[in-house]
């Protein structure tokens, strides 16, 4: 009997190659394989469909990515590669044929992001259904602990854990940490109007936006959770995005942001900046300090 797409147990996969994994998790014969890196391959299935086969060392991270892709796709808004199967080491999903960034695609991305965020989440910090509480963002750990108050939740679970790690590593000095801690203390005043929990991509930097050959923008590699919608937009600002002005125009047309949102971009960037501080060092610590000082100067 031919098996259908599956989520196999955590020990499945063994020492299989990407082609064997794709065949097992999709139930389809494989006709071609091309390695892109030690952790990523393109595999062609019988019938011509090409899938990406991605290997991860952390079973929780693989599970979180698969659950995140499915949860975001359930909103029926942004375009994401379909998941065809996963186990403790492997994730099989559609390949997105690459194209070029365009203004029209950027406008649609903004509108689709607004609709995704509006789809909501049960709570701030809520993980995707079937996703683990202990997830990852890039190579850093990220805990999805639900909360009802965004300022308190953001400080406790998105700022302070990475700040403490950076201080322990010697990347942020104690006197500098005090500046960021002051931002956390003042979050209720700095956060702007209360917002309901949004369904976030969670790691929305330019590298996770693929401009498809079909003329649409596609999102990959989520760190999905319930959060504040301005956080996804702040991430796009942090590392740049083609036609970002058109993305924002489309977003604002569909779901206008609260007054003062542009002044809060740095506040929402504290989370990814501190993650990058932990992963990559001092340069990002200085950016986090600059963002903190700017936030404190707004009131």
Residues linked to residue 68 through DSSP beta bridges, in sequence order: none
Q: Which residue in the block uniquely carries the two structure tokens 């990475």?
A: 162
Annotation marks residue 203 as catalytic: yes
* Whole-number Å distance between alpha carbons of 135 and 223: 8
Which one of 87, 107, 112, 203 is the catalytic residue?
203
CA distance readout (Å), 226 to 7, 63, 137, 178: 24, 17, 14, 28
Q: What is the chain's alpha carbon radius of gyration, rounded to the nearest angstrom?
A: 20
Residues linked to residue 114 through DSSP beta bridges, in sequence order: none
What does the block give as tokens for 183?
A: 């931002």
φ, ψ dihedrals at 161, nearest 5°: -60, -40
CB distance 266 to 289 below 8 Å: no
CB distance 236 to 265 below 8 Å: no
Strand runs labelled E in 82-159: 83-86, 90-94, 134-137, 140-143
What does the block give as tokens for 197?
A: 């929990």
Q: Could you list the active site residues? A: 203
């Amino acid at each position: 009997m031919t098996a259908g797409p599956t989520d196999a147990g955590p020990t499945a996969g063994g020492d299989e190659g990407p082609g064997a994994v794709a065949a097992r998790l999709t139930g389809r014969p494989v006709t071609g394989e091309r390695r892109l890196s030690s952790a990523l391959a393109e595999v062609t299935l019988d019938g011509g469909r090409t899938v990406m086969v991605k290997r991860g060392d952390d079973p929780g991270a693989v599970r979180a990515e698969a659950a995140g892709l499915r949860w975001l796709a359930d909103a029926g808004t942004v375009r994401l590669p379909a998941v065809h199967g996963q186990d403790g080491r492997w994730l099989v999903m559609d390949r997105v044929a690459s194209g070029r960034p365009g203004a029209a695609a950027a406008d649609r991305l903004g509108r689709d992001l607004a609709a995704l965020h509006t789809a909501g989440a049960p709570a701030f910090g809520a993980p995707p259904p079937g996703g683990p509480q202990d997830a990852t963002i890039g190579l850093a750990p990220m805990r999805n602990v639900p909360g009802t108050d965004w300022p308190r939740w953001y400080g406790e679970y998105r700022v302070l854990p990475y700040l403490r790690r950076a201080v322990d590593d010697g990347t942020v000095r104690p006197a500098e940490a005090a500046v960021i801690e002051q931002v956390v203390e003042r979050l209720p005043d700095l956060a702007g109007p209360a917002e309901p929990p949004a369904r976030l991509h969670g790691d929305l930097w330019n590298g996770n936006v693929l401009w498809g050959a079909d003329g649409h923008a596609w999102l990959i590699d989520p760190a999905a959770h319930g959060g504040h919608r301005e956080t996804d937009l702040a991430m796009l600002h942090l590392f740049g995005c083609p036609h970002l002005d058109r993305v924002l125009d489309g977003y604002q047309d569909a779901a206008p942001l609260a007054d003062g949102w542009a002044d809060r971009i740095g506040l929402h960037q504290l989370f990814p900046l501190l993650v990058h501080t932990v992963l990559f060092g001092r340069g990002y610590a200085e950016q986090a300090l600059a963002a903190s000082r700017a936030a404190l100067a707004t009131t």
